[in-house]
Homo-oligomer: A and B are copies of this chain.
Amino acid sequence: MTATLPETTGITGQMIIAGAHVRGSGQPVRAFNPATGETLEPAYHYGDSSHVDAACSAAAEAFAAYRATTAEQRAQFLEAIAANIEAVKDAIIARATAESGLPTARITGEVGRTTGQLRLFAGVLREGSWNHAVIDPAQPDRQPAPRPDIRQRSIALGPVAVFGASNFPLAFSVAGGDTASALAAGCPVVVKGHDAHPGTSELVGRAVTDAVAAAGLPAGTFSLLFGDGPDLGTTLVTDPRIKAVGFTGSRSGGTALVAAAAARPEPIPVYAEMSSINPVFLLDGALATRGAQLGEAFVASLTMGSGQFCTNPGLVIAVDGPGLDGFVAAARDALTGSPATPMLTPGIARSYATGVDALTQHAELVGRGQPGDSECACHAALFTTDAATFLKSEALQAEVFGSSSLIVRCKDAAEMRTVASTIEGQLTATVHADESDYASAGELLPLLELKAGRILFDGWPTGVEVGHAMVHGGPYPATSDSRTTSVGARAIERFLRPVSYQNVPKALLPSAIADGNPDKIWRRVDGQLTHD
Contact = CB atoms under 8 A, between A and B. Distances in A.
Given A127-B527, A468-B136, A500 B453 contact: yes
Contacts of A505: 433, 435, 438, 441, 457
Interface in A475-526: 475-477, 480-485, 489-490, 493, 496-505, 507-508, 522, 524, 526
Interface string A342-361: 00000000000000000000
Interface stretch (A22-30, A150-158, A203-211, A333-341): A150-158
A471 B500 CA distance: 5
A371 interface: no
A442 B151 contact: no
B450 A471 contact: no
Nearest to A522: B529
Contacts of A144: 109
A420 to B, nearest CB: 13
Interface footprint category on A:
35 or more
A476 B465 CA distance: 35
B469 A135 contact: yes
B267 A476 contact: yes
A501 to B, nearest CB: 6
A408 to B, nearest CB: 22
A454 B134 CA distance: 13
A157 B450 CA distance: 8
A144 B106 CA distance: 12
A446 B496 contact: no
Interface of A: 64, 68, 109, 123, 127, 129, 132, 134-136, 144-145, 147-148, 150-152, 155, 157-158, 258-259, 262, 266-267, 269, 425, 433, 435, 438, 441-442, 445-446, 449-450, 452-459, 463, 465, 467-471, 473, 475-477, 480-485, 489-490, 493, 496-505, 507-508, 522, 524, 526-529
9 A-B pairs with the lowest CB-CB distances in the bound complex, closest first: A456-B502, A471-B500, A454-B500, A134-B469, A152-B469, A150-B469, A136-B469, A136-B467, A482-B497
7 contacts: A147-B467, A150-B467, A152-B490, A157-B483, A454-B499, A469-B524, A475-B497
